[in-house]
Chains A and B, each alone.
Chain A
Amino acid sequence: MKNLKIYTYTIIRSASKEFKDRVPYCSAILEDGKGTRSVQMLEGYTDDKKTVIGQKLIV
């Protein structure tokens, strides 16, 4: 996939059993140039990083 952009996102601070040790983390819906969307947990989130809708992702 190329030209991935953040369609929407959230920072999760209260997680399910499997992910509770990883909070806070960022999960997002990504959209490629053709409008196809997918869900992905974005690696390396920290609270000092700014995340915005429309932001391009370096893959």
Chain B
Amino acid sequence: MRTVSVIGIGETKMGKYPNLSIRDMIKEAGNKAITDSFIDRKEIQAVYVGNFNGAYFSNQSHIGAMVSEVLDLGNIPTIRTEGACASGSLAFRQGLIAVMCGIYDIVLVGGVEMMTHQPTEVVTTGIASAMDYELEAMQGLTFPANFAMIANRYFYEYRNVKKEMAICAINAHKNACLNPDAQMQKEVTLEKILASDMIADPLCLYDCSLVTDGAAFLVLAAGDIAEKVCRHRVVDIVGSGHAGDNLTLYTKKTITSFAATRAASEQAYSQAKLTPVDIDFAEVHDCFTITQIINTEDLGFFKHGKGADAVAEGVTAIDGKIPINVSGGLKAKGHPIGATGISQIYEVVTQLRRDAGMRQLGKTDIGLAHNIGGTGGTALVHIFRGR
């Protein structure tokens, strides 16, 4: 298997764009990634694009062919991947595998989602299709509700971490203020969070990630090609893990830890010959604040039940020992579902290139991106190293 590198990155500013279309988002982010890679677009041999629910939110499927048309890529093969909130990382991994195996030398991977034009209950319904519709959604469950049940169980098994969940939100908002591509560039206080509307007890408004329009794309190339063409620090993908679990939450063995994340991270660490202490920083899937805490435990940064202590001690803050979601995360940078996994990798590569401006971390040689779909039915972990 050969080394694969990220040679080009591009994303839209995350936000609310009532006057833009899926095409517009693809055009902006895709062209940025191609320009950033310094290759001719004719050298791109295949496209992998994540999109969760364009058919429901925008009456649009067949996004792969749209990418090819909008970016003028000709008759190359394209495919759309779907794995709920992990759709983007699935696209990334399919592109990675194809280059790693030598099927292609250069591919474009990306993700796109337009959601904000729909009213909240339509967005909630569309997102709920990522759980079991009959067994869960028709019992009144929503995604906030599923993660609220996870939070209540976590409080029962360990301790009440409502305050630490709020600190996750405070940190995310603070970090997003330093990220020009973030949707929510506004600091928030503990008092305001705790006084915000309850969505599904114990999750209040500020425990939930954002509804976002956005797109992100990356150009991947074989490592030897990257060495020749890349005009940035070359970023190699040194570990890739992908694992699954039951679709329904209630049939999972434990709901306060995601087996798919644990399995995917074991694969990625083992491939990279690294352990959690080697990771300089990480972008983890904070669809809800409780999820961030659980993920940092599943990824091995902290013991189970101790993730909240680390948050309270400042370990995960931008100036902490293992900064989590310096981009602002899903919580404040934004969560354009199909694009999220790619947007997380965009941040990791930006940090490794030392191009992150105001939010640039000190030592950034090894970064990790973690993306889950649904309530942990799909999980992907990727580890990156700057050359």
Contacts and interface: CB of A to CB of B under 8 A. Distances in A.
**Do A and B originate from a single complex?**
yes
Interface of A: 7-20, 22, 25, 27-29, 37-41, 53-54
B199 interface: yes
A37 B251 CA distance: 7
Contacts of A53: 152-153, 156
Given A10-B148, A12-B142, 5 more contacts: A11-B201, A12-B140, A15-B140, A17-B124, A38-B250
A13 B150 contact: no
A7 to B, nearest CB: 7
Contact of B150 (A8, A41, A54): A8
B271 interface: no
Interface string B146-160: 001110110010000
B149 A29 contact: yes
Interface in B110-132: 120-122, 124-125, 128
Interface string B195-217: 00111111100000000000000
A38 B156 CA distance: 19
The 5 closest A-B pairs by CB, nearest first: A10-B148, A8-B153, A16-B125, A11-B201, A8-B149
The interface residues of chain A, by DSSP majority, are classed as strand
Contacts, number: 87
Contacts of B203: 10
A15 B251 CA distance: 22
B121 A17 contact: yes
Nearest to A23: B140
B141 interface: yes
Contacts of A25: 140
B138 interface: yes
Contacts of A15: 121, 124, 140, 142
B325 to A, nearest CB: 24
A41 B139 contact: yes
A19 B139 CA distance: 9
Contacts of B251: 37
Contacts of B138: 18
A27 B143 CA distance: 12
Nearest to B148: A10
Contact of B140 (A8, A22, A38, A54): A22
A50 B200 CA distance: 15
B137 interface: yes
A10 B121 contact: no
Contacts of B145: 10, 12, 27
B252 to A, nearest CB: 9
